[in-house]
């Protein structure tokens, strides 16, 4: 047993295991291969469909059949990943060149998912069969064992177009991510041809052909000048806008119609866009919207926003660009597997890798074809030669005892044991010297081959074989000939499958949106004990004053253009803009302040709130649980930042009270252990917000300040403490930094 226990450093084993796992995810799952532009799950799915005979000109087969077969033979990582790959390869709004012909509900551009695999059907697309799988039977790529070594699968598909550029790719590996936009097939083929004719071509020159990405959803790329650097380095950010048109409706109103969306918006982001537009109206960012409707269909995207009659449509569209995803960013990171390892590549590097792969597969293809034609030539020449001496061969066959004797005579001229009609026949037979393959073909030849027309066809076939041999040898011996063959194939795919560019590439000006300043007015900020906040107008507040005061923890009058300062027990001050809060009816729920500020309710507790404008000419009194206190000028909290440190706290301390200094004369500190200390507010020092403060009460071990009260000199303030009524002004007056009086209960 001890001999089987391996002792190793734990950190080394963890490091090795993690690296093994990371490389497995990177190479075998998440990243595409630069040669065929496919991830392993995509490659295996297409190959399985090819093996099952689900061709473009044959009936569809159930997706569940394809997924199950792929999972059982090649991809043991769960059926959901395989079906998702199958679905994506069929979606023309995600792929510039769909590789699968789907039948049934395969999802839509608005984010609705595909139906379950048992309901949908699929088959290979024609381009996939012709440009991805056509030469698999010609031994042009290596085959490797599958996961359990019971099947063979191609290490890469013999793809004849730069699929990585045409369809793009997205994937997340361990510590790296790939994001490659789709491009126009015709433009990419032109760029490949230009590279093949001049391998010293620059990226800038290649971009005469590849203008930029061509998204299936269209749209407008607005940073044309930045594309060259993106294609040089393989990384960058492409800015995309949706296409907008203006239509006049009844009553002279203008409709803003969105007919194309940015590529990153496909899916659930369309509904998010609609929600964001509606939110602009609800939060009073714009009052130009009359109605919004999504009229998209199978014919394409059509989102209609109806504006008020006097609305500035151009300014409204610029607002959409600035505040919604109608203008979005596609992050480019052209990372793919190259020579067995992940590498970020530019446009020229990807094209070079694709062309090198084309030369490699073409060399293997025509080498195998040449060997096949040479074999045909050998047999054809043997049959033609045999037809010329057919009487002799028939005499040999009739005079032989068995097949081996006849074959020996045909190959070596061995006439021993064969009965001939004449000595001349024996002499001629001894001179025969057919090859093994020719002899076998002669022995298996059927009599109808002796017909004159059949012989003529054989000679014609031999001429064709010789022409093929000459052509294949020329292709293999001369790189220019192979180059021309590849270019001719590319031209064929371009004629058959290319389409017009959908995405416009231009340099557009930054969207300038002139936001209308809201009319300044007094509002009332309401926040309940659950942290939900809203604003209402003064008239609404006056009508519901009693309910508003009793139901809410904070009721603060301020301007609708102002801010609320939120002080928390961990010494932070968060600012909350009134414009970020919903303005409306008294019974509206409001929104959590966590959503519109940096305040985090599960990490800190709100202890005081006030309008920022009310603090500028005031002073604030801060008291902590360890009895550190100070007075701070309210002007220090007139800041632009959303969060600042309101006070400095020692370790383990927390803020228990913040109050505006008005006409308070005395402060009363109450500790957890029942000590009360009353002393004049004037004894508290004024300090900066970054100071710790001075001590208010001398606390015993484990004692902390629990509550803080304020009174005037003549004011009578009664509190309840542990069932006992206490008049605060009757407490014995003392000085700061003393122990205080313990009240007995």
Q: Residue 187: which of 157, 203, 210 has the closest Cα?
A: 210
* CA–CA gap between residue 614 and residue 575 (Å, rounded): 13
8 A C-beta contact, residue 61 and residue 55: no
The SS3 assignment for 318 reads helix
8 A C-beta contact, residue 728 and residue 663: no
* CA–CA gap between residue 483 and residue 356 (Å, rounded): 11
The SS3 assignment for 593 reads helix
Q: From residue 533, give the alpha-carbon distance in Å to each of 288, 576, 725.
A: 26, 10, 35
8 A C-beta contact, residue 381 and residue 463: no
8 A C-beta contact, residue 498 and residue 184: yes
What is the DSSP-derived secondary structure letter of residue 714? S
Concatenated DSSP letters of 432-465: ----HHHHHHHHH--GGGGSHHHHHHHHHHHHHH
* CA–CA gap between residue 579 and residue 576 (Å, rounded): 9
* CA–CA gap between residue 693 and residue 679 (Å, rounded): 16
8 A C-beta contact, residue 296 and residue 263: no
What six digits make up the tokens of 228?
């060259």
Question: Residue 170 pairs with which residues in a beta bridge?
Answer: 179
What is the DSSP-derived secondary structure letter of residue 489? H
* CA–CA gap between residue 742 and residue 314 (Å, rounded): 71
8 A C-beta contact, residue 206 and residue 221: no
What six digits make up the tokens of 539?
């008239």
* CA–CA gap between residue 337 and residue 457 (Å, rounded): 50
The SS3 assignment for 253 reads coil
Instruction: Tell me the helix, strand and coil percentages in the chain, rounded to 5.
Output: 40, 25, 35
* CA–CA gap between residue 334 and residue 345 (Å, rounded): 6
Backbone phi, psi, residue 58, to 5°: -120, 170
* CA–CA gap between residue 615 and residue 624 (Å, rounded): 20
Q: Residue 120: which of 109, 133, 107, 106 has the closest Cα?
A: 106
Q: From residue 326, give the alpha-carbon distance in Å to each of 122, 142, 265, 510, 527.
A: 33, 46, 8, 13, 34
* CA–CA gap between residue 120 and residue 225 (Å, rounded): 44
Instruction: Give, in degrees to the nearest 5, the angle at Cα 682 between 620 and 736.
Output: 100
What six digits make up the tokens of 168?
């793009």
What six digits make up the tokens of 593?
């302040």
Q: Annotated catalytic sites, by residue? A: 119
The SS3 assignment for 244 reads strand
* CA–CA gap between residue 719 and residue 711 (Å, rounded): 12
* CA–CA gap between residue 321 and residue 738 (Å, rounded): 62
**Sheet architecture: strand order including 655-661:** 655-661, 619-624, 628-633, 694-695
What six digits make up the tokens of 100?
């699968």
* CA–CA gap between residue 393 and residue 382 (Å, rounded): 12
Backbone phi, psi, residue 279, to 5°: -65, -35
């Amino acid at each position: 047993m001890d001999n089987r226990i391996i002792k190793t450093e734990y950190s080394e084993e963890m490091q090795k295991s993690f690296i093994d796992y990371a490389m497995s995810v990177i190479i075998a799952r998440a990243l595409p291969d630069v040669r065929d532009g496919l991830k392993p799950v995509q490659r295996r799915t297409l190959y399985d469909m090819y093996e099952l005979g689900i061709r473009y000109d044959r009936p569809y087969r159930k997706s569940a059949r394809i997924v199950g077969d792929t999972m059982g033979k090649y991809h043991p990582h769960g059926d959901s990943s395989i079906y998702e790959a199958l679905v994506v390869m069929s979606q023309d709004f995600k792929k510039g060149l769909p590789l699968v012909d789907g039948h049934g509900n395969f999802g839509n551009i608005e984010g609705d998912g595909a139906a379950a695999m048992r309901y949908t059907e699929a088959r290979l697309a024609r381009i996939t069969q012709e440009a991805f799988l056509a030469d698999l039977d010609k031994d042009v790529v290596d085959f490797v064992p599958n996961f359990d070594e019971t099947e063979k699968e191609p290490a890469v598909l013999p793809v004849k177009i730069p699929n990585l550029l045409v369809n793009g790719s997205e994937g997340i590996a361990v510590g790296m991510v790939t994001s490659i936009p789709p491009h126009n097939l015709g433009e990419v083929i032109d760029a490949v041809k230009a590279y093949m004719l001049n391998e010293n071509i620059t990226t800038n020159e290649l971009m005469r052909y590849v203008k930029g990405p061509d998204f299936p959803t269209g749209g407008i790329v607005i940073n044309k000048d930045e594309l060259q650097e993106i294609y040089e380095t393989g990384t960058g950010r492409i800015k995309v806008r949706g296409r907008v048109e203006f239509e006049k409706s009844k009553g002279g109103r203008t409709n803003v119609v969105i007919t194309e969306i940015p590529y990153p918006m496909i899916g659930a982001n369309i509904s998010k866009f609609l929600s964001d537009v509606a939110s602009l109206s609800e939060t009073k960012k714009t009052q130009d919207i009359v109605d919004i409707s999504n009229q998209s269909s199978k014919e394409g995207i059509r989102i209609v926003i109806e504006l008020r009659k006097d609305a500035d449509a151009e300014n409204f569209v610029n607002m959409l660009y600035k505040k919604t995803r109608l203008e979005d960013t596609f992050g480019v990171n052209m990372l793919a597997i190259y020579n067995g390892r992940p590498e970020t590549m530019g446009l020229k590097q990807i094209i070079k890798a694709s062309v090198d792969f084309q030369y490699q597969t073409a060399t293997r293809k025509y080498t195998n074809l040449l060997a096949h034609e040479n074999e045909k030539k050998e047999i054809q020449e043997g049959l033609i030669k045999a037809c010329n001496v057919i009487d002799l061969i028939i005499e040999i066959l009739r005079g032989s005892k068995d097949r081996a004797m006849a074959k020996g005579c045909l190959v070596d001229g061995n006439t021993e044991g064969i009965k001939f009609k004449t000595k001349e026949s024996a002499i001629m037979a001894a001179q025969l010297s057919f090859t093994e393959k020719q002899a076998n073909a002669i022995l298996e030849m059927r009599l109808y081959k002796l017909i004159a027309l059949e012989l003529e066809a054989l000679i014609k076939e031999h001429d064709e074989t010789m022409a093929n041999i000459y052509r294949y040898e020329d292709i293999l011996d001369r790189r220019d000939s192979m180059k021309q063959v590849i270019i001719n194939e590319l031209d064929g795919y371009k004629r058959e499958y290319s389409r017009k560019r959908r995405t416009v590439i231009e340099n557009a000006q930054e969207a300038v949106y002139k936001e209308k300043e809201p009319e300044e007015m007094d509002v009332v900020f309401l926040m309940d004990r659950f942290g939900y906040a809203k604003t209402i107008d003064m008239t609404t507040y006056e009508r519901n004053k009693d309910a508003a005061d009793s139901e809410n923890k904070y009721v603060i009058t301020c301007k609708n253009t102002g801010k609320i300062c939120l002080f928390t027990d961990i010494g932070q001050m968060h600012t909350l803009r009134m414009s970020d809060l919903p303005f409306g009816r008294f019974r509206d729920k409001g929104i959590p302040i966590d959503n519109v500020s940096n305040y985090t309710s599960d990490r800190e507790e709100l202890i005081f709130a006030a309008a920022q404008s009310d603090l500028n000419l005031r002073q604030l009194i801060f008291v902590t649980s360890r009895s550190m206190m100070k007075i701070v000028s309210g002007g220090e909290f007139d800041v632009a930042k959303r969060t600042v440190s309101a006070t400095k706290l020692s370790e383990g301390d927390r803020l228990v009270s913040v109050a505006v200094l008005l006409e308070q004369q005395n402060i009363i500190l109450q500790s957890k252990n029942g000590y009360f200390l009353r002393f004049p507010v004037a004894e508290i020092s004024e300090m900066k917000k970054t100071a710790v403060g001075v001590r208010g009460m001398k606390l015993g071990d484990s004692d902390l300040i629990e509550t803080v009260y304020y009174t005037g000199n003549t004011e009578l303030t009664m509190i309840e403490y542990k069932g006992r009524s206490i008049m605060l002004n009757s407490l014995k007056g003392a000085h700061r930094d003393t122990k205080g009086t313990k009240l007995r209960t």
